[in-house]
A and B are shown apart, each in its own frame.
Chain A
Amino acid sequence: MTTVQTATGPEQTMVLNMGPQHPSTHGVLRVLLELDGENIVKADVDIGYLHTGIEKTAEALTYSQAITITDRMDYLAPLSNNLAYCLAVEKLLGLEVPKRAQYIRVLLTELTRIGSHLVWLGTHAIDLGAMSVFLYCFREREEILKIFELVSGQRMMTSYFRIGGLALEPPVGWTDQVQKIVNTFPSRFDEYEELLTKNRIWIGRTQGVGVLSAKDAIAMGVSGPSLRGSGVDYDVRKYFPYSSYDEFDFQVPVRTECDCYARYLCRVAEMRESLKIVRQALKKIPPEGPVKADAPGIVPPQREKMKTEMEALIYHFKIFTEGFAPPPGEVYQRIESPRGELGCFIASDGSPKPYRMRMRAPSFVNLQALQKMVEGRLVADAIACIGTLDIVLGEIDR
């Protein structure tokens, strides 16, 4: 506690806990706010309430088994986590994934991005008082979750991507369902913008709030829309394309105002760009073709072959009992998750279990910027700033 000069004389500041149980901290986040009335003098962020030791657990699982725990980190964009991990292992193995699987991965990852941004928009809006937007966003998100259920059997923790491609062949007619989304969503996004973008209260709550200059953002390692709202156009899909993203035509929205409003505009524009990518992917995906790489010791053989051919049976047995062993070495694979640069570092020692799996969570790094954003501002602005950073505690704490 420090002493601050106020209009009525020197006063002691008050330390108040925001969280860990709080509807607006988007998870179990504790922010210790040192307050002078409503002004924040100092903010200290305390995390770790959701730490489950995912990185340590991964060292005890085989490479294929570890896919399921990656879902649980950024639980609003589980397919992104799967993608980062699978791409890292595929890089380690030097495995080439068939184009059809790559395009389907892109389509599902972009749907995940839309779904994640919908949650962000709904929760950010409801934090700041715009309660109707929340249910509209979740209504749209339902359609996306239905697609995930259709292809993988699971709404959220899909684990649909595997080392070498996808887990299963998607069902016949799934692209028609995706086409429905592509047809109906643009007008829905227009509805949200109609409610918020020119709304005086929204502008008052978000413009000029949570300012983070480009220099500060780069120094703090901020990535994703939080960085692009400050004028830096770093998007991993454009800088270091992965999974055939260079074959898709899309823009990366960048704003220069550096405040919450800029980030809001970036994310809404990103949703529209993601729809563009989905539309292109629907045209690109060949109706037939392999969804898994042809790598006998790594990718399990088809079940029919396993039941009739001896070699396939032996491969199946070895893969599911021992697992496959990549060469020793380290790789770092970056992808653009809805929150920013999601990195997966894998160190292999030649055994079937990852020696070290590290996920560089974008929310973990972005949250560091919170202290800079809220100091000197009002408590209400802290809510806006936490919302604008789009954090997910699952990936912060792992």
Chain B
Amino acid sequence: MTETPDLEQNPIIAIIRGWRPEAVAAVNSFRGELTIVIYREHLLPLAGFLNSDAGLGFTYLSDVTGVDRFPIEPRFELNYHLLSLSRRQTVRLRTRLPGDDPVVQSVVPVWPTANWHEREIFDLLGIRFEGHPNLRRMLLPEDWEGYPLRKDYPVEGPR
């Protein structure tokens, strides 16, 4: 997962680096999929930029996935899978969150579809999304304690 030289020629990366070079932590390509790792404070501005920039046009958020990398720090990883319908291109945005402070800004103002994705991640992984209009549990009962998808939660459940 190293940065190969021809990735710098990739127009998407070039545009993002041109916009705000300090946002990008790393870039890699695996099995033909481009992943851009960014720092969490730049997530919402970059989301707005990718959505509104006519050259990129990433108006469609396919999926938000959370991964718990316990015990590696930063513990939580959020993957945003974006699709540009006009250019038929996809990209993955990744940001890492520390285990003791799993908070990040919600991208609902940019892509309303993130509403339920973020609720589900909050429900199962315990990552909080600031600015989310309705951050409460959805799959598990409202009074459930614990976050099942975390690696320190047993598969059989609390026993």
* Residues of chain A contacted by B90 (CB below 8 angstroms): 240, 332
Partner of A345, one of B65, B137, B139: B65
**Contact string against B for A residues 374-398, beta-carbon threshold 8 Å, 1 for contact and 0 otherwise:** 0000000000000000000000011
Is residue A257 contacting chain B, with contact meaning CB distance below 8 A? Answer: no
* Residues of chain B contacted by A367 (CB below 8 angstroms): 116
In this complex, the member of B62, B85, B88, B137 whose beta carbon has the largest number of chain A beta carbons within 10 angstroms is B62
**Contact string against A for B residues 77-95, beta-carbon threshold 8 Å, 1 for contact and 0 otherwise:** 0010100010010101000
Is residue A331 contacting chain B, with contact meaning CB distance below 8 A? Answer: yes
Q: Which of B115-130 contact A (CB under 8 A)?
A: 115-117, 120, 124
Is residue A225 contacting chain B, with contact meaning CB distance below 8 A? Answer: no
Please state if B155 and A57 are interface contacts (CB–CB under 8 Å): yes
**Contact string against B for A residues 61-94, beta-carbon threshold 8 Å, 1 for contact and 0 otherwise:** 0000000000000000000000000000001101
Is residue B59 contacting chain A, with contact meaning CB distance below 8 A? Answer: yes
Is residue A53 contacting chain B, with contact meaning CB distance below 8 A? Answer: yes
Please state if A368 and B85 are interface contacts (CB–CB under 8 Å): no
In this complex, the member of A218, A330, A334, A356 whose beta carbon has the largest number of chain B beta carbons within 10 angstroms is A330
* Residues of chain A contacted by B85 (CB below 8 angstroms): 218, 232, 234
Is residue A341 contacting chain B, with contact meaning CB distance below 8 A? Answer: yes
The residue of chain B having its C-beta at the shortest distance from the C-beta of A52 within the complex is B139
Please state if A239 and B138 are interface contacts (CB–CB under 8 Å): no
Q: Which of A347-361 contact B (CB under 8 A)?
A: 347, 355-356, 358, 360
Nearest CB in chain A: distance from B53 CB, A:
16
Is residue A188 contacting chain B, with contact meaning CB distance below 8 A? Answer: no
Q: Which of B59-77 contact A (CB under 8 A)?
A: 59-63, 65, 67-68
Please state if A368 and B113 are interface contacts (CB–CB under 8 Å): yes
* Residues of chain B contacted by A329 (CB below 8 angstroms): 1, 30-31
Is residue A196 contacting chain B, with contact meaning CB distance below 8 A? Answer: no
The residue of chain B having its C-beta at the shortest distance from the C-beta of A367 within the complex is B116
A94-B31, A218-B59, A358-B65 given; A343·B113 CB < 8 A:
no
Please state if B113 and A356 are interface contacts (CB–CB under 8 Å): no
Is residue A143 contacting chain B, with contact meaning CB distance below 8 A? Answer: no
State A92–B32 Cα separation when bound (angstroms).
10
* Residues of chain B contacted by A368 (CB below 8 angstroms): 112-113, 115-116
* Residues of chain A contacted by B62 (CB below 8 angstroms): 221, 332, 334, 341, 343, 360
Q: Which of A263-309 contact B (CB under 8 A)?
A: none
The number of inter-chain residue pairs (CB within 8 angstroms) is: 96
* Residues of chain A contacted by B33 (CB below 8 angstroms): 330-332
Is residue A96 contacting chain B, with contact meaning CB distance below 8 A? Answer: no
Please state if B139 and A358 are interface contacts (CB–CB under 8 Å): no
State A53–B30 Cα separation when bound (angstroms).
28
Please state if A221 and B140 are interface contacts (CB–CB under 8 Å): no
Please state if A356 and B67 are interface contacts (CB–CB under 8 Å): yes
* Residues of chain A contacted by B63 (CB below 8 angstroms): 332, 343, 345, 358, 360
Please state if A330 and B59 are interface contacts (CB–CB under 8 Å): no
**Contact string against A for B residues 21-65, beta-carbon threshold 8 Å, 1 for contact and 0 otherwise:** 000000000110101000000000000000000000001111101
* Residues of chain B contacted by A328 (CB below 8 angstroms): 1
Please state if A332 and B148 are interface contacts (CB–CB under 8 Å): no
The residue of chain A having its C-beta at the shortest distance from the C-beta of B61 within the complex is A221
State A193–B88 Cα separation when bound (angstroms).
34
Closest A-B pairs by Cβ, 6 of them: A221-B113, A360-B63, A48-B139, A51-B139, A329-B30, A358-B65
Cβ contacts A to B, 24 pairs, < 8 Å: A48-B138, A48-B140, A57-B155, A60-B155, A92-B31, A219-B112, A221-B60, A221-B61, A221-B111, A232-B85, A330-B33, A330-B35, A330-B79, A331-B31, A334-B62, A343-B62, A343-B63, A343-B81, A345-B63, A356-B65, A358-B65, A367-B116, A368-B115, A397-B139
Beyond A48-B138, A343-B81, A358-B63, 7 extra complex contacts between A and B, CB < 8 Å: A221-B113, A239-B88, A331-B30, A343-B62, A360-B65, A364-B116, A365-B113
